[in-house]
Copies of this chain bind each other. A is one copy, B any other.
Amino acid sequence: MSHPTETEKCIESLIAVFQKYAGKDGNNSTLSKAEFLIFMNTELAAFTKNQKDPGVLDRMMKKLDFNNDGKLDFQEFLNLIGGLAQACHNSFLSSQKCM
């Protein structure tokens, strides 16, 4: 891919970001709870800091961890990005600010 399209760049970014945060504890195929919190507070700080409920990240992790193994695999991570994109898309359609 010498000249990646916007969609290809986005797919590459999703993989690179997941690898970056998932690799912090040596196992780069899953996000541990600690890695998830670092990811959320770094990459999505604009979202995280607007949450008034301090338990929101705990509940998000539990909800995303579909197979309940205490870690997020890449598919579970993609569900997070998809959920946020969906929420932003809905805001966009109703002309509200997203993040």
Mark A residues whose CB is within 8 Å of B.
1, 5-19, 29, 39, 42-46, 74-75, 78-79, 81-82, 84-86, 88-89, 92-93, 99
A10, A18, A93, most chain B CB atoms within 10 A: A10
Task: Report the bound CA distance from A85 to B74 in whole Å.
Answer: 9
- The answer to whether A78 and B86 touch across the interface, beta carbons within 8 angstroms, is yes
Interfacial chain B residues near A89, Cβ < 8 Å: 15, 18, 74
Residue contact B88 to A44, C-beta cutoff 8 Å = no
Query: Bound complex: CA of A42 vs CA of B29, how far in Å?
Result: 31
Q: Min CB distance, A19 to chain B, in Å?
A: 8
- Give Cα A18 to B93, complex, Å: 12
A75 contact set on B, CB distance < 8 A: 82, 86
A43 neighbours in B (Cβ, 8 Å):
5-8
Q: Indicate which residue in B6, B15, B46, B92 contacts A88 across the interface (CB closer than 8 Å).
A: B15
Partner of A9, one of B5, B13, B74: B13
